[in-house]
Structure 1
Amino acid sequence: MKSVPRAQDVANLAQVSQSAVSRTFTPGASVSDDTRRKVLAAAQKLGYRPNALARSLITRRSRIVALVMSYLENQFYPLVIEKLSRKLQAEGYHVLMFISEMDEAADGVLAEILQYQVDGVVMASAMLSESLAQRCSDLGVPVVQFNRISDLRGLARHSASSVTSDNYAGGRLAAKLLVERGYRHIAFLAGLEDSSTSLERERGFVDGLAASGLSVFRRAVGRYRFDGAQEATRELFAQEPPPDAIFAANDHMAIAAMDVLRLELNLEIPRDVGVIGFDDVPEAAWGSYRLTTLRQCVEPMVDATARLLCEQMAAELCPRDVVVPCELIERASIRQRQRG
C-alpha cells in the first residue's frame, strides 16, 4: 500500500519546521508568505492533506459551528444560510446544519449537535430551551439566536446572544403606512404564537394603530406556513364586514394571502385590500406580487451574528443582544399616496 505523507514529510521537503506546516494549514495562524509558498508546494508534490479531525484532538477546537434551523419553507432563510456559511468559512469555520421541528425546542437534536464537539451554535428560526441553554453554557459553547429572542427568564437570556431586526419598529411602520393610505379595518396575520418575531411585530403594529386611535380589526394565525396563511386569510374574510388591509408577520404568509384574495375571493389589490409583509424575500419583488414589505437587512444581521459568535468562541465574553434597523420597501400592494 502507498504510504500516506505526514506533516513531517512536508516539513523535510520544504526545509521548514513541522510547526510551520501546522500553521500554514491553520486558519488565521501567523506564517510568512515565503514559508506558506514552500509548504504548499511541498504538500502538493507529496499529495499531503491535513487531517482536520486529528488537529482538533490536539487543539480541542473542531472549528465547526452548528446551525439549527426549523423553517426552510420561508425564502428568507436560504439567503441566511448562504451568507452566514460564507462569512464563517472566511473566518476558518465550517457550518454543520441541523433541522429541528418548527414549533418545538431544539432539544431533539441536542445530543447529535454536541457529539460533533462544535465550537459554537447559531439558532435560526429554532427555539432555545432552558435545557439546551444550560448544557451549552456548562460546556462553554456560545449560542447566538438569529432572528429570535428566547422568552425564557434567567439562564437562557444571560447565556445566549441574539441578533434581530427591529421587529417592533417595523410593526409600527406598517400600521402608520396603512392608516396614512386610508385603510381602517386592518387585520393582522400572525405567525407562531410563541415566536418572538411575530409577537414583537404584532406589538409594534398594535401600538402603531393605537397612536392613530385604531385597534386591530381582526386577527388570525397562519403559523408561518403557506397553507396555514391561506386558511387564515379565508377565516379573516368569512365575516362581514371584511378587512380592507392585512399586515402579515412575514412575506411567505403575505404572498399566500394575496393568492387567496385575488384568485379565490376576486378582490383587487390594493384597491379592495392592502397587504404588507415582513422580510423582503426575492419573491416579494416579482411582478405578480410587488409586495410592500419591511426589509430585514440580511448582510448586517449575518455580520453581527458571525462577529458575536467568533468573539465568544475566542474568549469568554458576556452575551449581547444586537438589534438591526429594518427598512420599509414600498411597492404596489397598498394604495399610492394621494396627491394634492
Structure 2
Amino acid sequence: MTTSKLTVERCAAEHRASIARENRRVTSYDVALVAGVSQSAVSRCFKPGASVSKTTHARVMKAAVLLDYIPNAAARSLITRRSNMIALIITNQANLYYPELLAELSQQITARGKRVLLFTLARESDADRVLADVWQFQVDGVIAAASLSGEHIAEFKRRRVPLVVFNRTLRDHSVNTVTCDHHETGRMLASRLAAAGHRQFGIIAGTEDSVVASERRRGACERIAELGLPPPVIVPGEYDYRSGAVGLKAIIEQLGGVPDAIICGSDVMAIGCLDYARHELGIEVPGQLSVAGFDAVEPSNWLSYNLTTLRQPMPKMAAAAADLLSSIIDRPDADEAERRVFNAQFIEGATARLTPVGPAAPTVAAGMRAPVAIM
C-alpha cells in the first residue's frame, strides 16, 4: 500500500489499524511508509539542524501526527552512540543566587538538540557525591558550575567525557572553561571605591571552598595593597542574609569603629549588611559607610536597596558554555583546552559613595571614626 494509490490520511488510518492489531508501537519505518519517503529521511526530520527539504519535512510531520508517532530517544542513542543528555552540576547556592543560570543553560542546550540532566550539590566540595551517578547515565558531556579537583579532571579525561567548567577558574589544570573574570571584578570594585576616597575596607567573604569567593577576595586585596591602603579586615560568610549582619558586627569590633567601605561576596550578604547598618546601628549608608556586593540578583534592584554591585553576563556565558561543549563533543580529539572569559558590568546603585568628597578620608592609622555601639 503506497501513498500514490491512497491519500495520506487514508493510508495512515489503515496503517494505524494494522499496528493496533499487531499490538506494537509506531516506528520511524511506519512513518516512512505513510509519508512515502525513506526511513533515513524520517530520522533527519527529527534531528535538529539536519538537511531536509521543506516538502519532505512537511510530509513526514503530517504522517507522524496522523500516526501519533513519538521518536524513540533510547533507540536513537543506540544508533548514534550518544545519549543526547548533558549533565549540569550546580551548587544549591549558585541555583539560589543565579536563578536565571539554569534556565539559560537549559535553553541553550535544548536548542542544540540535547537535554539537561541536573545534579545539585549542597557545597562545592561535594562533587565526589554526584560524579558516580554522572558516569552511570553515560552523558554526552558535562557543564560543571562547581569546583573540581585534579583527580576529577583526570577522571573526565580517562572516561573521555567532554567537560566545560562554568564560572570557575581552575588555574592549575588544563580544562575548557567559560567564566567571568572574578579576580578582575574584585580589583574593579576596590578601585572604584578607593578612587572615591575610601581608605579602610572590610570584606565579608564567601565560603572557604568557593573558588568564586576566593578569586573576588584575592582581586580586591591585591588592588588595595597596590594602592598602599591599610589591609582590609576579612571575615567569613555563608552567602546568606545573616552573614551580612554578623560580618559587619565582627568587622566593627575588630577595627574599633566603622570602616569606610564593606565589600560583600554576594548581594544577599550585602543586603544583610545594609539592613543591619541602617536599622540596628543607625549608620547612614552611603554617608558614613559604603556597601557593595556582587551578582546583581533581583532584590538588589529594589528601590529600598538599589545596591552598588556587579552583574555577570549570564545569557552570553550560558550560550558560550553550550557552544563550547557542543564543539568538544563533535571533535573529541581536540588537544588544547579553551578558556572564554567575560567581564562584569558595574552597577553604580545608591549604597556606595563613588565620587570624592573633600580631602581624602584619613586612614585608620591616622584616625578612625568614632566607635559605634554594637547591640
| TM-score bracket, shorter-length normalisation | over 0.9
Q: Which residue matches 1:63?
A: 84
Alpha-carbon deviations, 1:50-76, whole Å to 9, x = none?
111111111111111111111346644
Q: Which residue matches 1:272?
A: 288
Alpha-carbon deviations, 1:139-172, whole Å to 9, x = none?
2111111111235x4xxx12x3111112222112
Aligned mates of 1:3, 1:57 — CA distance in 2: 20
Q: TM-score, normalised by structure 2?
A: 0.84
- 8 Å CA contact 1:143, 1:161 repeated in 2: yes
Aligned mates of 1:197, 1:12 — CA distance in 2: 56
- 8 Å CA contact 1:280, 1:293 repeated in 2: yes
Q: 2:150 aligns with which of 130, 133, 153?
A: 130
Q: Which residue matches 1:294?
A: 310
SS of alignment partner, residue 238 of structure 1: helix
Aligned mates of 2:133, 2:89 — CA distance in 1: 11
SS of alignment partner, residue 266 of structure 1: coil
Aligned mates of 2:263, 2:103 — CA distance in 1: 28
Q: Which residue matches 1:304?
A: 320
SS of alignment partner, residue 293 of structure 2: strand
Q: Which has the larger radius of gyration?
A: 2
Q: Which residue matches 1:82?
A: 103
State the AA in 1 paired with 2:247: A
Q: TM-score, normalised by structure 1?
A: 0.92
Q: Which residue matches 1:250?
A: 266
Structure 1: gaps (5+ residues): none
Q: 1:214 aligns with which of 224, 229, 236?
A: 229
Q: 2:198 aligns with which of 170, 173, 183?
A: 183
Q: Which residue matches 1:241?
A: 257
Q: Which residue matches 2:338?
A: 320
Q: Which residue matches 2:347?
A: 329
Alpha-carbon deviations, 1:206-259, whole Å to 9, x = none?
222223220333110103233334322221223412322101122222122212
SS of alignment partner, residue 250 of structure 2: helix
The more displaced of 286-295 and 194-203 is 194-203
Matches for 1:101-250 after TM superposition, within 5 Å: 101-124=122-145, 126-150=146-170, 153=172, 157-158=173-174, 160-239=175-254, 240-250=256-266
Structure 2: gaps (5+ residues): 1-19, 359-375
Q: CA deviation at 1:338?
A: 4.8
- 1:73/1:264 CA distance change after superposition, 3 Å: farther
Count, aligned residues: 334
Q: CA deviation at 1:24?
A: 1.0
SS of alignment partner, residue 239 of structure 2: coil
